A and B are shown apart, each in its own frame.
Chain A
Amino acid sequence: MLRQSALGCRRGLATLASESLLPKKYGGRYTVTLIPGDGVGKEVTNSVVSIFDSENVPIDWEKVDISGLENQEGVQKAVESLKRNKIGLKGIWHTPADQTGHGSLNVALRKQLDIFANVALFKNVPGVKTRLQGVDIVVIRENTEGEYSGLEHESVPGVVESLKIMTKVKSERIARFAFDFALKNNRKSVCAVHKANIMKLGDGLFRNSVNEIGAKEYPEVEVKNIIVDNASMQAVAKPHQFDVLVTPNLYGSILGNIGAALIGGPGLVPGANFGREHAVFEPGSRHVGLDIEGKNVANPTAMILSSTLMLRHLGLNEYADRISKATYDVIAEGKTTTKDIGGSASTTEFTDAIIEKLKTL
């Protein structure tokens, strides 16, 4: 997994992270922006907060509790807090599918902070029954352009153009991030997912950028390419062939959801978003969970594991190791697990079981 901060410092302005850009520690403690988001966000971030409390993790939370349904200015509070603290733990904001109001606040936040790289980890969790075992895929997704440009217009009534923007700068940036990640985490290959047979210029630029950066700067990592429809079919049938996938924005979302389904659901997928200066940790499979909101049944594992990635990012590895071990142990024992993975425990019962387990470690 993310052994170290995956924020590369190897080369290039875009992936530069000097000491001055890292989160500041005051009196031995870090301040972290906490954005519960909508749906089950409150419940699963509460779970993290109580586990951190019980472990006396040297972190103070700065809570920004707004809903995705609020006006776009709401996101400013989150942006300002993250600019101060450089690091955050976040649930998902709900974006209504109807055409009222504003667009996705999640996207707005990522763009404003330029947290360009989304990392999501899909690995079977011992104790969770799935059709296929041995899945271990990392999806690294460009987070700020592509199909999510938000540039659309209706040329004449009934004719809409939606622009997908691909740039060389951002394609190379995400490629370097993916190769850095592969090197740091002992991964063998990086595979670019694309549709360059149809979008010859746009996806062609992405694929070529990954291939060139890989060949020139990372000869020790194998570079592969796969067309997105084939990748999706292969992912459900033979997922073991995949290692690190690097994708434009939309394909990352699709492959991420396949990955989540393979390992037992979105409640188990840790994730993070990295920019030059900021890192925001959020579940790797971005589901709001409106349907189970407030019922105390959500699986907080994704958020807990994301928070351990955050602890590693801050260099608090011992806390991270203890919390992730306790979480995996409780799931493996199978006595106190949530409904989504076949158990009957509530969110709080599962959290308490982890806290109890921590006392025994």
Chain B
Amino acid sequence: MLRLQLARNSRRFLSTKKQPSIGRFTGKPDPSTGKFTVSFIEGDGVGPEISKSVKDIFKAADVPVQWEKCDVTPLFINGLTTIPDPAVKSIYKNLVALKGPLATPIGKGHRSLNLTLRKTFGLFANVRPAKSIEGFKTTYDNVDLVLIRENTEGEYSGIEHVVSPGVVQSIKLITHDASERVIRYAFEYARAVGRPKVVVVHKSTIQRLADGLFVSVAQDLSKEYPDIELQTELIDNTVLNVVSNPGTYSDVVAVCPNLYGDILSDLNSGLGAGSLGLTPSANIGHQVSIFEAVHGSAPDIAGQNKANPTALLLSSVMMLNHMGLADHADAIEKAVLGTIASGPENRTGDLAGSASTSSFTEAVIKRL
């Protein structure tokens, strides 16, 4: 118990200082400058403003990173959403990217750009931490959740058809390989961040074969991880328990199929911060990883210097940890969280504060 407590206290927000053995960053800094190059998808709406905040703070903190701006405005080739070639090349070269919010392109029937990015780069695991921020009171206390979502199949297979007029089949696809890949990542992640439990969230009472396969893969894999306790839990119970008492999941890494992960990760953000505005995330692949703010592009406040850059900043902190630049990650994380905690004059409007994007950024830089 004491050891657990110590481990918890020493853990920071994103708790990924030690990296899982899967999906590790293999990029090298440019030998002439000593800097890593990172592809930067600034995104739409408020994207450019919050991206500027990240760039300013990285500069002030002397982070050895140079940015390569990427345009991912989608092309439609043979009816498929496709990312422009220069962007694909940039990301494959740099092996890491930071991404702001993208507006969902209007054009029905097309695959979303986020889904396209995941498919293009084989980003199989979506990592979503959600944590209460000290000094910023919300309805729920002691939220410290980590959820890993299968990112490539399940309910998002995109296989649907009208069987007869008024009758639709949507196919949820669960495969052994994709399940094993993401569950193994969850075990490795739990080990790396010192959480003793992996909880597989499922509904195998109803989807006996599909979710049953996901659960049985986890049970087989758990033999390779005797140091990590495996629990399986019906999604009904997870939802009920996490909302009733989020603190009971502080020593857990949860892992689940795509749709449950989508729902639970947003639910967790609701518990941790009351919105998506503070939520960072990582999309991990074997080769490439992309770190992103999961909130929307907020076109209504775009260009008004009002947006909160925290989610993108915390995503960049996860990215720095992933790249092995843990000291820089720590410094920025502390400065961001410290600024939010310091009072409403240093918080943006979404957190009931009076700061602008640029004044918040300056306050963070002062704290570095």
Contacts and interface: CB of A to CB of B under 8 A. Distances in A.
Q: Do A and B come from one complex?
A: yes
Contacts of A361: none
B278 to A, nearest CB: 12
Q: Is the interface of A mostly helix, strand, loop or mixed?
A: mixed
Given A97-B215, A162-B171, A233-B266, A258 B243 contact: yes
Nearest to A199: B170
Contacts of B266: 229-230, 232-233
Contact of A199 (B109, B160, B203, B204): B160
Interface residues of B, number: 64
B292 to A, nearest CB: 15
Interface stretch (A81-89, A99-107, A217-225, A349-357): A99-107
A150 B174 CA distance: 15
Interface in B171-210: 171-177, 202-210
Contacts of A147: 172, 203, 206-207
Interface residues of A, number: 60
B352 interface: no
Which among A104, A160, A200, A260 has the highest number of chain B CB atoms within 10 Å? A160
B274 A237 contact: yes
A55 B276 CA distance: 51
Nearest to B241: A261
Contacts of A12: none
B276 A163 contact: no
Contact of B112 (A168, A197, A260): A197
B57 to A, nearest CB: 27
A202 interface: yes
A183 interface: no
Given A97-B204, A159-B175, A163-B169, A202 B263 contact: no
Contacts of A153: 209
B302 interface: no
A45 interface: no
Interface string B209-246: 11111011000000000000000101111011111100
Contacts of A242: none
Contacts of B173: 159-162
Q: Is the interface of B mostly helix, strand, loop or mixed?
A: mixed
B128 to A, nearest CB: 11
A95 interface: yes
Contacts of A233: 266-267, 269-270, 275-276
Nearest to A250: B203
Which among A96, A166, A236, A254 has the highest number of chain B CB atoms within 10 Å? A236
Contact of A165 (B167, B176, B204): B167
Given A232-B263, A233-B266, A258-B239, A161 B276 contact: no
Contacts of B270: 232-237
Contacts of A261: 239-244
Contacts of A286: 236
A152 B207 contact: yes
Given A199-B155, A202-B168, A265-B244, A160 B174 contact: yes
B259 interface: yes
8 contacts: A97-B234, A159-B173, A159-B175, A162-B172, A166-B170, A199-B155, A233-B269, A237-B139
Interface of A: 95-97, 99, 103-104, 107, 131-132, 147-148, 150, 152-154, 157-169, 195, 197-203, 205, 228-230, 232-238, 250, 253-254, 257-258, 260-262, 265-266, 285-287
Interface of B: 104, 108-109, 112, 138-140, 155-156, 158, 160-162, 165-177, 202-213, 215-216, 232, 234-237, 239-244, 259, 262-267, 269-271, 274-276
Given A95-B206, A147-B207, A254-B239, 15 more contacts: A99-B208, A99-B212, A147-B172, A157-B176, A161-B172, A166-B167, A169-B166, A229-B262, A229-B265, A233-B269, A233-B270, A236-B140, A236-B243, A257-B237, A261-B244
